[in-house]
Amino acid sequence: MQYIVYAIPAFFLLIGVELLIDKLKKSGYYKLNDTVTNINLGIGSQLVGVFIKGLTLGAYIYIYEHFRFIQEIPNQALTFILLFIGVDFFYYWFHRLAHEIGVLWGSHVVHHQSEEYNFSVALRQSWSQGFFSWIFYIPLAFIGFKPEMFVLVSALQTLYQFWIHTKLIRKLPKPFEYLFNTPSHHRVHHGQNPLYIDRNHGGTLIVFDRMFGTFQEELEPLVYGITKPANSWNPIGLNVDYWKDWFTHFVQANGWINKLKTIYKAPGWTDKEIKTPTFSSANIHKFDVSLSKQINAYVLFQFVVLLLLSSLLLNIIGDQSLHIELYQKAFIALYMIFCLFAIGAILENKSWSKIIEVIRLIIFPIFMYYVIVLAQLHLNLQLISIVSSFFALLSITYYYWSAKNPNKL
């Protein structure tokens, strides 16, 4: 996970470049609410990942140490290449089955909910995917690929997939398009057009899609998103939306056979008759909530503060030398997720968002004091307390003024 954390500055540099080009061309690839939500979901995924990674990587290490077939695989270029192909192969099968099996789709659907397509979508990740995906890589541990090399290759495969989330790059040279996953191939994967659904599941390579019959060339104009729109900017709601539907289908299914089918059948399967609407790009209306310029400016400012804070916190709770207890990490993660929830509530213009935001800001100075003491940072605690309290008070004042004066800036 730390490799991904270290790459965050590069991610935002590329997002900034794409955003600048988007503004100069006036192409409208970015919306503030969608972009903030994408990145908030990415932050949440990294925070939850702190707790998942220990379990999942621990399972890989345990199998490697006790049950591997090959006792010593040398650290050679050929080993790296073979492991890279192996990681991509098993990623393909997890990714494909995550689109074809209901319970796995629940762990992946978040990545596809955005109705836009830009670099920020690459950061939009489900908080529960790690609970399922690790199982698919266990054969590599049995073979005997070293855990540290597996972690490195997996990180590189994940990092590769960032740059393919863009509409600015149309087509690359044919040999490259034939072998590797590209922006064109991955745009297809994110389309909800019937022609494109459940196609192009590759991570770095596209050859497995060609081999197993799931490849589709980009032909018709794309409509991004999922067939049942999430219509929300709430990161918690977006992560549980599919699971609520699944649980309803599970409870209402007749008999245990049909209940089990909701787990392994296609996403949304039910034994009840459902009329599926005919797809038409003309009938697609992107979800949006209109907010005043002041509120948008407030959201953007608070989002930047949370973004910088989350980068600091991810490094703190990932630093093994600090010996931070699990419950202390959990407190940090829960407060940050509460912050993401509050921003989502503002973006959706919920009537109760003011209460949530005030609670978040009142806790903020206490939280900052707690983190600085916990991380043993050599900072002036009194000064930090004063600055964070002033920040909270100023934020509350501006937010309430903006809500009462929506047309003034």
In this predicted model, what pLDDT tens digit does every residue of 97-123 receive, in sequence order?
A: 999 999 999 999 999 999 999 999 999
Q: Are residues 331 and 203 in the same domain?
A: no
Q: Which of 47-51, 165-169, 308-312 has the highest mean pLDDT?
A: 165-169
Residue 226 lies inside a defined structural domain of this protein: no
Residue 86 lies inside a defined structural domain of this protein: yes
Amino acid (one-letter) located at 229: P
Residue 115 lies inside a defined structural domain of this protein: yes
Q: Are residues 21 and 170 in the same domain?
A: yes
| Confidence class for position 317, pLDDT limits 50, 70, 90 | confident
Q: Are residues 201 and 305 in the same domain?
A: no
**Farthest CA pair distance, the chain:** 70
Q: Are residues 74 and 194 in the same domain?
A: yes
Mean pLDDT for 20-43 is 95
Q: Are residues 150 and 7 in the same domain?
A: yes
Q: Are residues 102 and 201 in the same domain?
A: yes
- 76 pLDDT higher than 80: yes
Residue 39 lies inside a defined structural domain of this protein: yes
Distance, CA of 55 to CA of 44 (rounded, Å): 18
Mean pLDDT for 175-199 is 97
Residue 166 has φ and ψ, to the nearest 5°, of -155, 150
| Confidence class for position 328, pLDDT limits 50, 70, 90 | very high
Q: Are residues 196 and 304 in the same domain?
A: no
Q: How many CA atoms lie within 13 A of 239 on its CB side?
A: 20
Q: Are residues 45 and 149 in the same domain?
A: yes
Q: 179, 212, 245: which is the final residue of a domain?
A: 212
- The crossing angle, in degrees rounded to 10, of helices 255-264 and 235-252 is 150
- 390 pLDDT higher than 90: yes
Q: Are residues 98 and 189 in the same domain?
A: yes
Residue 13 lies inside a defined structural domain of this protein: yes
- 327 pLDDT higher than 60: yes
pLDDT, one tens digit per residue, over 147-161 is 999 999 999 999 999
Q: Which of these, 368, 371, 370, 346, lies nearest to 357 by C-alpha position? A: 346
Distance, CA of 155 to CA of 329 (rounded, Å): 23
Residue 269 lies inside a defined structural domain of this protein: no
CA dihedral over 288, 291, 293, 297, signed as positive or negative: negative
| Confidence class for position 53, pLDDT limits 50, 70, 90 | confident
Residue 283 lies inside a defined structural domain of this protein: no
Q: Are residues 207 and 319 in the same domain?
A: no
pLDDT score for 2: 64
Residue 383 has φ and ψ, to the nearest 5°, of -65, -45
Q: How many domains are contained in the chain? A: 2
Q: Are residues 166 and 23 in the same domain?
A: yes
Q: Are 38 and 114 spatial neighbours (Cβ–Cβ below 8 Å)?
A: yes
Residue 277 lies inside a defined structural domain of this protein: no
Mean pLDDT for 378-402 is 91
Q: 188, 212, 236: which is the final residue of a domain?
A: 212
pLDDT score for 381: 86
pLDDT score for 407: 62
Write down the mean pLDDT value for the chain: 93
- 382 pLDDT higher than 50: yes
- 238 pLDDT higher than 70: yes
Distance, CA of 167 to CA of 221 (rounded, Å): 12
Q: 187, 212, 237: which is the final residue of a domain?
A: 212
Distance, CA of 62 to CA of 59 (rounded, Å): 5
| Confidence class for position 1, pLDDT limits 50, 70, 90 | low
Query: Which domain covers residue 67, as residue numbers?
Result: 2-212
Q: Are residues 82 and 187 in the same domain?
A: yes
